[in-house]
Amino acid sequence: MKKVAILQSNYIPWKGYFHLIQKADHFVFLDNVQYTTRDWRNRNRIKTPSGSKWLTIPTNGNKKMMINEVTFINSSWIDKHLKSIRLNYSKTPFFQYYYSKIKAEYLSKKWENLSKLNQHLIKFISNELGIKTKFYNATDFINATGKNERLISIIKQLQCDYYITGPAAKDYLNTKLFADNGITIEIIDYSKYIPYVQPFGKFEHDVSVLDLLFCVGKNATNYIWRSNENSI
């Protein structure tokens, strides 16, 4: 049974995003849909001495655009984000190992498109986590009209019958329509993640996966999918 996950790209996402990717055989970036403002598309959070802080990419994005149409207003944000990451994580155990790699990915080309950067960083981090899932763009497929119909169509074109998604999907998924098309739905469980040693006080789960990499290194998977399987 081949499993599919379909999701919009996010900027340096939290660990749960990569848990979803890891559980799937195929992962589809759904970036040909409406851009949402004040969301995870162009921002994420890191730990700082004064609490969690947003790293936000300035874009021209608005609700009339699709995610893959959004571009950057300028490129100065890259140095600012790298500086913030360096200042706040330089004393973590695995900072030296990962920072140079991450910096190289940011500087590997002149990025202008949000979707392309997000996807590039997600694939890079997935590789660092040892994830073997195959990646696709929704534009690689014939896209049906309707939120549920679009997902079902992509799943069928991949010749799969098992769909993995996050808890937020409960608000819009037509489970009967999926069942009528012979597709099983799995809602991923994000509730069993265990804490690890983080900098700066109270533990927070809802920060970028970079936090996890800097803090625990190669043991990161023990705090994502393996913690949910009680194998740690």
Q: What does 48-113 look like in DSSP terms, one character per residue?
A: ETTEEEEEE--B---TTSBGGG-BBS-SHHHHHHHHHHHHHHTTSTTHHHHHHHHHHHHTSS---B
What is the model's pLDDT at position 228?
Answer: 54
What is the model's pLDDT at position 230?
Answer: 43
pLDDT digits (tens, 9 = 90+) for 69-86: 999 999 999 999 999 999
What is the model's pLDDT at position 226?
Answer: 75
What is the model's pLDDT at position 171?
Answer: 87
Which segments of the chain have a pLDDT < 70?
Answer: 227-232
Token digits of residue 19: 């848990």
Cβ atoms 159, 3 nearer than 8 A: no
What is the model's pLDDT at position 231?
Answer: 35
- Global pTM reads 0.95
**Domain layout of the chain by residue ranges:** 3-228
Cβ atoms 67, 192 nearer than 8 A: no
**Could you give the count of Cα atoms lying within 13 Å of 203 in the half-sphere of its Cβ?**
9
pLDDT digits (tens, 9 = 90+) for 83-130: 999 999 999 999 999 999 999 999 999 999 999 999 999 999 999 999
What is the model's pLDDT at position 10?
Answer: 98
What is the model's pLDDT at position 227?
Answer: 59
